[in-house]
């Protein structure tokens, strides 16, 4: 049953007092079901649209040799980025948590700050720093080869996605109990054997969580692979739809990418099954004694310096270098309209996503059941869908059902809100877990209705979580490129589209102001999220 009665409590010798239980909010169930349908129906229609072809044409589309080549490129790039990010994130996380290398705060920033730089901005910065006339050429007289192709995409995606893994490794290493490692050393195992046999297996859930984020990011990436001219499914979908105007072929490429994403999610869930690494002994875990690096201190510092230089110093220096040249050429003329356009669609999308997340999170926390969990999972399906595939599904669905909505700001705002809805659910759900339902029971006993009790008692406690959810979606929407490209009205430019457009034409001075403004806005939004998470209840999770 969806609405289970809660038992009334009474102390010894006291009569049990009746509690006015909350009735199951059917209106919220209706709203949540509509939200789940809004997320899933366009994807279902994408399948319908893909099969609206003759069998012979269908075989020709699906069995193209190019599809196998695209699959190989996509899997190769995804696997390579996953391996490379692990080789960066794991040593850096270990140095910040288990070694005596200082300053730790600076090392943590090296592992986190690259998230504030969108991948396509990082690609622009690296392209602009290399080649004739780039930053490296201006400083050293050597024209460093510009990144391109597979190796360029691998390097850029590694530098700007490894923080997903770093944050998971860093959090997990801080929470591990050192007693198992101490027992292994007492049995004669050296530091390397102890790390390999004891510490690393306990990091498996963190590795899988971070790896899933990296894989989903690479599978859905369009900006980096397009600027590097490396063809994956995402880049091919854009070319098929925008260049060849082959909507059926683009639909099938989208379905193939969706199948690859679904297989990734199922594989990750299978690997996580039956994993248990919690402590079962009494007492609390002790803090681990830092490992003295000794002669390895200098290689460790060199490693951290190389990561900081590649992921932060070179991109920011390149942006500033080309900004100076852009100011001289009057490249700031379109900056203010692009910023206003970005905020015009990102801000309402963030508010809508937070409001839509509220009924899903509330039902999932207060009235857990298979149905409410299913509706909540629908939001994560939309988030896991690569942006180009989701944009194409919305295009097909809108043209068939509501043609006037096609290429309008309304559709773009709804696409942002639905695609990033899962990001908003986490903070709201965390806030609900901290807002005890006993306060609502007390308000109902005083005569308030269910909605009145929620508005007066629970909603004020959810404000930090709602603010964090809004900030998270705002940050993601400001950086979003594929959805903006396919769904925005003609002539509507944002910071993201201007960075990509100018960079693809090698107009680095013109792109610099937009890229730097995007990094600045992303940094401010990230700082607000971190502040909300530290200072408010129900912060970002």
| Domain ranges (residues) in the chain | 23-49+332-541, 64-273+294-328
pLDDT at 453: 57
Q: Say what percent of the chain tops pLDDT 70.
A: 80
Q: Can you tell me the distance from the alpha carbon of 70 to that of 526, in angstroms, rounded to the nearest whole number?
A: 34
The whole-number pLDDT of residue 72 equals 92
Interacting residues of 179 by C-beta distance below 8 A, sequence separation 6+: 285, 286
Going by C-alpha positions, the residue among 451, 476, 484, 456 that lies closest to residue 540 is 476
- Spatial distance between the Cα atoms of 199 and 336, rounded to a whole number of angstroms: 50
**Alpha-carbon gap, residue 223 to 480, rounded angstroms:** 9
Backbone angles phi, psi at 99, to 5 degrees: -110, 170
Can you state the angle between helices 335-366 and 409-419, rounded to 10 degrees?
40
Per-residue confidence (pLDDT) for residue 396, from 0 to 100 = 85
Q: What confidence score (pLDDT) does residue 142 get?
A: 82
Nearest to 228 by CA among 504, 534, 532: 504
pLDDT of amino acid 330:
63
The angle, 0 to 180 degrees and rounded to 10, between the axes of the packed helices 26-50 and 387-401 is 90
Place of tokens 């900081």: 308
Domain 23-49+332-541 matches domain 64-273+294-328 at the CATH topology level: yes
Q: Is 52 helix (H, G, I), strand (E, B) or coil?
A: coil
- CATH code for the domain defined by 64-273+294-328: 1.10.3720.10
Alpha-helical segments (H) within 99-203: 104-112, 119-129, 135-140, 149-175, 179-186, 191-194, 200-202
Closest CA to 363 of 27, 127, 72, 20: 27
DSSP-H helix ranges across 409-458: 409-419, 421-434, 438-445, 450-453
The pair of structure tokens assigned to 115 is: 């998230």
User: φ, ψ for residue 291 (rounded to 5)?
Assistant: -85, 130
**pLDDT at residue 456, rounded to an integer:** 58
- The pLDDT of residue 17: 42
Q: How many residues does the chain have?
A: 541
Q: Within 10 Å of residue 327's Cβ, how many Cβ atoms? A: 13
Would you give the DSSP letter of residue 99?
Answer: B
- Reported as half-sphere exposure (CB side, CA atoms, 13 A), residue 25 has a value of 25
- Residue 291 DSSP SS3: strand
Nearest Cα neighbor of 96 from 200, 198, 170 is 170
**How far is 365 from 514, CA to CA, in rounded Å?**
41
Average pLDDT of the chain is: 80
Residues in the chain with pLDDT values less than 70: 1-24, 177-182, 184-191, 243-246, 272-288, 326, 328-331, 434-459, 528-541
β-bridge partners, 99: 291
So what's the pLDDT on residue 245? 64
CB atoms under 10 Å from CB of 344, counted, come to 16
Q: Which one, of 358, 379, 338, 343, lies nearest residue 477 by Cα?
A: 343
Q: How far apart are CA 238 and CA 500, in angstroms?
A: 14
pLDDT at residue 157, as a whole number: 95
Please enumerate, as own/partner, the contacts of 340-344 that have beta carbons within 8 Å and a separation of 24 or more.
341/492, 341/493, 341/494, 342/478, 342/494, 342/495, 342/496, 342/521, 343/478, 344/409
Torsion of CA 408, 414, 420, 425, to 10 degrees: 160
- Coil, strand or helix at 229: coil
The helix/strand/coil state of 51 is coil
Given this model, what pLDDT does residue 190 score?
64
Q: How far apart are CA 275 and CA 278, in angstroms?
A: 9
Using one digit for the tens of pLDDT, what is the confidence trace for 67-82?
Answer: 889 999 999 999 999 9
What pTM was computed for the model? 0.80
């391109």: which residue's tokens? 148
Kindly tell me the burial class for residue 541, based on how many C-beta atoms sit within 10 Å of its own C-beta (0-12, 13-18, 19 or more): middle
CATH of 23-49+332-541, one of 1.10.3720.10, 1.10.10.10, 3.40.50.720, 3.30.1330.60: 1.10.3720.10
Spatial distance between the Cα atoms of 102 and 109, rounded to a whole number of angstroms: 12
38 exposure class (CB count in 10 Å sphere: 0-12, 13-18, 19+): middle
Q: How far is the first Cα of the chain from the last one, in angstroms, to the nearest whole number?
A: 29
pLDDT for residue 140: 85
Of the candidates 422, 39, 482, 44, the residue with the CA atom closest to the CA atom of residue 232:
482
């Amino acid at each position: 049953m969806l609405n289970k009665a809660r038992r009334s409590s009474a102390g010894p010798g006291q009569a049990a007092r009746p509690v006015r239980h909350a009735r199951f909010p059917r209106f919220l169930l209706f709203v949540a079901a509509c939200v789940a349908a809004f997320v899933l129906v366009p994807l279902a229609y994408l399948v319908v649209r893909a099969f609206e072809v003759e069998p012979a044409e269908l075989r020709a589309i699906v069995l193209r040799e190019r599809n196998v080549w695209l699959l190989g490129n996509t899997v190769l790039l995804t696997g390579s980025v996953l391996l490379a990010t692990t080789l960066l994130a794991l040593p850096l996380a270990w140095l910040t948590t288990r070694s005596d290398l200082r300053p730790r705060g600076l090392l943590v920033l090296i592992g986190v700050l690259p998230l504030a730089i969108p991948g396509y901005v990082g690609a622009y910065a690296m392209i602009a720093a290399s080649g004739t006339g780039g930053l490296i050429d201006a400083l050293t007289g050597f024209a460093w080869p510009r990144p391109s192709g597979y190796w360029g995409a691998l390097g850029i995606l590694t530098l700007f996605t490894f923080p997903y893994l770093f944050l998971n490794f860093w959090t997990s290493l801080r929470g591990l109990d050192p007693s198992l490692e101490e027992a292994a050393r007492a049995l004669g195992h050296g530091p390397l054997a102890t790390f390999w046999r004891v510490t690393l297996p306990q990091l498996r859930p963190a590795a899988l969580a971070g790896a899933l984020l990296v894989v989903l990011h690479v599978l859905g990436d369009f900006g980096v692979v397009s600027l590097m001219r490396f063809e994956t499914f995402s880049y091919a979908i854009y070319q098929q739809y925008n260049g060849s105007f082959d909507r059926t072929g683009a639909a099938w490429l989208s379905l193939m990418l969706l199948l690859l994403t679904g297989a990734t999610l199922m594989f990750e869930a299978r690997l996580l099954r039956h994993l248990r690494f919690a402590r079962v002994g009494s007492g609390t875990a002790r803090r681990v004694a830092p490992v003295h690096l000794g002669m390895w201190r200098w290689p460790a510092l060199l490693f951290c310096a190389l990561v900081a230089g590649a992921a932060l110093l070179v991109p920011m220096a390149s942006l500033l270098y080309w900004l100076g040249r852009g100011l001289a050429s009057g490249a700031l003329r379109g900056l203010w309209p692009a910023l206003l356009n970005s905020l015009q669609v990102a801000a309402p999308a963030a508010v809508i996503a937070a409001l839509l997340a509220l009924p899903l999170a509330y039902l999932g926390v207060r009235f857990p059941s298979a149905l409410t969990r299913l509706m909540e999972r629908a939001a994560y399906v939309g988030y896991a869908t690569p942006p180009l595939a989701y944009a194409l599904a919305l295009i097909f669905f809108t043209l068939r059902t509501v043609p006037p909505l096609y290429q309008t700001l309304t559709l773009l705002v709804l696409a942002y809100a639905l695609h990033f809805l899962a990001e908003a659910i986490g903070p709201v759900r965390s806030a609900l877990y901290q807002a005890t339902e006993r306060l609502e029971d007390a308000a109902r006993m005083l005569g308030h209705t269910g909605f009145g009790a929620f508005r007066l008692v629970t909603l004020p406690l959810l404000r930090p979580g709602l603010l964090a959810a809004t900030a998270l979606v705002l940050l993601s929407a400001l950086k979003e490129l594929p959805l903006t490209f396919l769904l925005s009205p003609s002539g509507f430019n944002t910071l993201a589209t201007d960075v990509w457009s100018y960079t693809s034409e090698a107009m680095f001075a013109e792109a610099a102001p937009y890229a730097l403004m995007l990094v600045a806005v992303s940094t401010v939004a990230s700082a607000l999220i971190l502040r909300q998470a530290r200072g408010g209840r129900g912060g970002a999770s």
